[in-house]
């Protein structure tokens, strides 16, 4: 009986310790990602081979390798905590969703966590053939006709995975599979925000598919917020 009580007490202490170590903080790191220089004008996409998609646009659309906004802002940059977290949030229950609309991927960069479910939806009147190109996860190549149910999957290892359509050669994007729930993808204003951080020293990484990776170390006190910026040198693509 005494041994049983001791086991229960130990389990209770372990549970409390686990909950405490995994408890999120209220610190944050935020800022903007910009480019330095003049990016090359993005390439125009010719969708004439797929009229059902081409007619959805009033004017030709451009490739999304590099997307810029006002004030030299850089869009589609993944900013995340790459070191410093001993405990992190589990993957959310809701799936990440990639929509194929107008023969483009929305979003162009889909970020989600390791072991988080994701779905791929075909919202076009034509078939797509989704081909993922991972190095450490499982590669697959699946057809998705109009009206087909979503393709569902998950990945067990962190990786930046190119995604393409074998039917429409201009369709390119990325699955960014992260081991942390502390990440942000910049929009048109280039802004990012990483919240819920306990006190500690962190490495913050910014990744852009054309320009590569940059890192900065940041030390936060309890409840502290800090602002940082990343600037990528504009290179031709």
pLDDT in tens, 130-189: 999 999 999 999 999 999 999 999 999 999 999 999 999 999 999 999 999 999 999 999
Which pLDDT does position 199 carry in this prediction?
95
Which pLDDT does position 236 carry in this prediction?
65
* Burial track 168-189 (b if 16+ CB lie within 10 A, e otherwise): bebbbbbbbbbbbbbbbbbeee
Residue 12 has pLDDT above 80, yes or no: no
Where residue 129 falls among pLDDT bands split at 50, 70, 90?
Answer: very high
**Cα angle value 38/43/47 (rounded, 5°):** 160
Residue 221 has pLDDT above 70, yes or no: yes
Average pLDDT, the chain: 89
48-104, pLDDT tens digit by residue? Answer: 999 999 999 999 999 999 999 999 999 999 999 999 987 678 899 999 999 999 999
| Short-list 227, 220, 176, 179, CA closest to 197 | 220
Range 25-233 classified under CATH 2.60.40.420: yes
The 3-class secondary structure across the chain, one letter per residue, is CHHHHHHHHHHHHHHHHHHHHHCCCCEEEEEEEEEECCCCCCCECCCCCCHHHHCCCCCCCECCCCEEEHHHEEECCEEEEEECCCCCCCCCCCCEEEEEECCEEECCEEEEECCCCEEEEECCCCCEEEEECCCCCCCEEEEECCCCCCEEECCCCCEEEEEEECCCCCCEEEEEEECCCCEEECCCCCEEEEEEECCEEEEEEEEECCCEEEEEEEEECCCCEEEEEEEEECCCC
């Amino acid at each position: 009986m005494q041994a049983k009580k001791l086991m229960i007490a130990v389990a209770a202490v372990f549970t409390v310790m686990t909950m405490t170590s995994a408890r999120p903080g209220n610190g944050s790191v935020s800022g903007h990602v910009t480019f330095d220089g003049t990016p090359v004008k993005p390439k125009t996409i010719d969708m004439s081979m797929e009229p059902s998609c081409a007619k959805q646009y009033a004017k030709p659309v451009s490739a999304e390798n590099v997307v810029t906004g006002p004030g030299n802002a850089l869009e589609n940059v993944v900013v995340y905590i790459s070191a410093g977290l001993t405990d992190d949030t589990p993957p959310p229950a809701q799936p990440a969703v990639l929509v194929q609309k107008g023969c483009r991927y929305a979003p162009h960069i889909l970020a989600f966590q390791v072991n988080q479910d994701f779905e791929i939806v075909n919202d076009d009147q034509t078939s797509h053939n989704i081909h993922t190109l991972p190095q450490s996860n499982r590669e697959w190549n699946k057809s998705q006709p109009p009206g087909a149910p979503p393709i569902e999957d998950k990945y067990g290892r962190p990786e930046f995975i190119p995604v393409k359509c074998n039917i429409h050669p201009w369709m390119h994007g990325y699955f960014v599979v992260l081991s942390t729930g502390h990440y942000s993808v910049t929009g048109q204003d280039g802004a990012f925000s990483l919240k819920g951080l306990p006190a500690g020293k962190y490495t913050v990484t910014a990744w852009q598919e054309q320009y590569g990776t940059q890192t900065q170390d940041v030390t936060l006190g309890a409840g502290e917020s800090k602002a940082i910026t990343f600037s990528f040198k504009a290179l031709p693509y």
